[in-house]
Structure 1
């Protein structure tokens, strides 16, 4: 009986150590909310930028104005890794790209072209419904990736500011 209790005690200690190790590993891998010298409160840190995910819905232009008032701008996605990080916080969110100046020529809010290596949703951009000139990030079961959409549609948005 003593052997059984000793073995059970050792298993309990090992389980506690494993739980603590897993929690520490998970907290290091997860995006961190920083304050003070890092990101503002309620913003997430990824690499060298801070991200704000709105919970309200506005048009693309009004969303951009909200970001500018926060000393930020709509997010510019520079890599597949950044796109993967941003995916999943909302079903759809405005991002900082449009082809308003020239149909089919997608430009970020800083004037740089949208890179081909980013993931567009299947069949996008398609300019449907007489013109979809603003960019969004979609996270839906059968519709995942960048998408073009009508700029006046009310959607959530993502702001970005450098750290």
Structure 2
């Protein structure tokens, strides 16, 4: 009887098989991804720290980002980054898509970009949004931009990020909101370049109205 035939079912596997048992393709994949992530992170930090210009553009997770010194957001050093084409203000990024949609579709569109419809937290932010919206509106007689604010079935206003809604800190136009039984979505309401009402320009409208929108996301700091 040969040595091969004499080996029982409990015998040890050949040495060449044992030596390759750790070569799991999933293990290779995880290790490769970890090494790649570490390499990209190191390169990103070195690139930004070594840059001397007033702003830089980089590719991050498949998206092109534009960065400015983070001192603009009240931080001492580093960079504040927003996706290319978005506008920076304080520690947030804002984008005004060029098409119009209902409120529900507008929120889905923003969340699809990793953001949400804008939530207004201060008078300074409201002034910035008014200026941004008026620049985009050019000479249009009337333009509305959806906010991330809508009323529930009981008429209670809710922000999409679940921030508390404080009526005293809202920026409704005089007489608004009205017709709350039907008009349950909020928008910034701008009447071309003739509109000087910087702060108090919110209007509640029917949620299926086709309007522009403002998307917002947090800036990245590196």
TM-score higher than 0.5 here?
Answer: yes
Q: Is the counterpart of residue 47 in structure 1 residue 90 in structure 2? A: yes
The answer (yes or no) to whether the contact 1:100–1:134 under 8 Å persists in 2 is no
The structure having more radius of gyration, on CA atoms, is 2
2:118 and 2:153 map into 1 onto residues whose CA distance is 19
Instruction: Give TM-score, length-normalised by structure 1.
Output: 0.72
1:65 and 1:131 map into 2 onto residues whose CA distance is 21
- Classify the secondary structure of the residue corresponding to 1:96: strand
Q: Is the counterpart of residue 68 in structure 1 residue 111 in structure 2? A: yes
Moved beyond 6 Å, runs of 4+: none
The match for 2:154 is 102
- Classify the secondary structure of the residue corresponding to 2:173: coil
- Classify the secondary structure of the residue corresponding to 2:107: helix
1:53 and 1:152 map into 2 onto residues whose CA distance is 19
1:1-163 to 2 correspondence within 5 Å? 35=66, 38-88=81-131, 89=133, 90=137, 91-103=143-155, 105-115=156-166, 116-127=168-179, 131-140=182-191, 141=195, 145-163=201-219
**Superposition RMSD in Å:** 1.9
Q: 1:40 to 1:142 in 2, by over 3 A?
A: closer
Q: RCO (CA 8 Å, sep 6+): is it higher in 1 or 2?
A: 1
Unaligned 5+ residue runs, structure 2?
Answer: 1-64, 68-79, 138-142
2:125 and 2:170 map into 1 onto residues whose CA distance is 10
1:148 and 1:38 map into 2 onto residues whose CA distance is 33
The answer (yes or no) to whether the contact 1:133–1:148 under 8 Å persists in 2 is yes
Q: 1:108 to 1:72 in 2, by over 3 A?
A: same
1:83 and 1:139 map into 2 onto residues whose CA distance is 12
Equivalent residues, number: 128
Unaligned 5+ residue runs, structure 1?
Answer: 1-33
1:87 and 1:57 map into 2 onto residues whose CA distance is 18
The answer (yes or no) to whether the contact 1:99–1:134 under 8 Å persists in 2 is yes
The answer (yes or no) to whether the contact 1:135–1:149 under 8 Å persists in 2 is yes
Instruction: Give TM-score, length-normalised by structure 2.
Output: 0.54
